[in-house]
Amino acid sequence: MIGTNKVKLINSLRIKKYRDKNRLFIVEGDKLVKEYLELNAGVNMVAGEAEWLAQVPDYLLDRAEQVIEISSAELKKLSSLRTPNKALAIVHMRSDELKPESLKESLSIVLDYIQDPGNLGTIVRLAAWFGIRNIVCSLNSVDLYNPKVVQSTMGALLHVDIYYTDLEKLLSGAVKTGLPVFATTLDGISIYKSTPVDRGLIMFGNESTGLPAGLVKYADRKITIPSFGNSGFGLDSLNVATSVAVVLSEFKRPGQ
């Protein structure tokens, strides 16, 4: 049985304002909740159905500050998933202060005004897969702790650091220190002809409008994924998450 105050807290965490105020967010489902416990990733509370709790080892449950048994009906009321899945956790946000020096020695992704939660989630998953530690988002990008983002990262959130900051400041700082900056645009050099590097910032823009000139001007190099199809109607660009996939693969592939 879950108390009224917890129900109120969980419902409030659907809204960014209350997530930020409490520095807490929600993770849902058997697999994801277990992953947050396995990595001891600051779990504040686990609410699970009796059968689910019974099969999670005690040493994992002990990592949560609080464990509550809830009924399937209670979980259904609390869940934001279409098909609620046995457990839900409240998790502490990590510290998210950007240390620009942490960007100097590796490749990082910079995202301007990404609006779709599914896209951000997919990009986080790609970053984890391709060994990218840092993602920097513009302040007007979708919130990382949006439930749809959290669920679509599939746990990759635990392997990537994501920051929100003023991109103009970040980029002008990078230019001063000589950190390479790449902008993905429709009129750049083919990524297959552009020599990849192992450090620097790779910028991707909004789903509809791409990168604004005000950010592209900071780039040392504009890069483009060339189309191999017939040009024509309905072929103006790739989805931003699939663009990130292609660019990361090309930068990370061995044998350059």
Rule CB under 8 A: choose which of 79, 122, 185, 206 binds a copy of itself: 122
Q: Is the CA virtual torsion 22, 25, 26, 32 positive or negative?
A: negative
Q: Does 38 bind a copy of itself (CB under 8 A)?
A: yes
Q: Does 59 bind a copy of itself (CB under 8 A)?
A: no
Rounded distance between C-alpha atoms, residue 5 and residue 23, angstroms: 17
Q: Which is nearer to a copy of itself, 44 or 194 (CB)?
A: 194
Q: Does 72 bind a copy of itself (CB under 8 A)?
A: no
Residue 91 backbone dihedrals phi, psi, to 5 degrees: -125, 145
Q: Does 249 bind a copy of itself (CB under 8 A)?
A: yes
Rule CB under 8 A: choose which of 74, 109, 125, 147 binds a copy of itself: 125
Q: Does 200 bind a copy of itself (CB under 8 A)?
A: no
| Burial classification of residue 41, based on how many CB atoms lie within 10 Å of its CB (0-12 exposed, 13-18 middle, 19 or more buried) | middle
Q: Does 178 bind a copy of itself (CB under 8 A)?
A: no
Q: Which is nearer to a copy of itself, 69 or 250 (CB)?
A: 250
Q: Does 177 bind a copy of itself (CB under 8 A)?
A: no
Rounded distance between C-alpha atoms, residue 110 and residue 169, angstroms: 13
Q: Does 186 bind a copy of itself (CB under 8 A)?
A: no
- Helix intervals (H) in the chain: 4-12, 16-22, 30-38, 50-54, 58-61, 72-78, 117-129, 147-153, 167-177, 213-216, 240-252
Give the residues across from 46 on adjacent strands.
67, 89
Residues 87, 114: contact at Cβ < 8 Å? Answer: no
Rule CB under 8 A: choose which of 14, 130, 180, 196 binds a copy of itself: 130
**What single-letter amino acid sits at 156?**
A
Rule CB under 8 A: choose which of 131, 172, 173, 199 binds a copy of itself: 131
Q: Please give the residue ranges that form the binding site for a copy of itself (CB under 8 A).
A: 32, 35, 38-39, 118, 122, 125-126, 128-132, 153-159, 192, 225, 227-230, 232-236, 238-239, 241-246, 249-250, 252-255
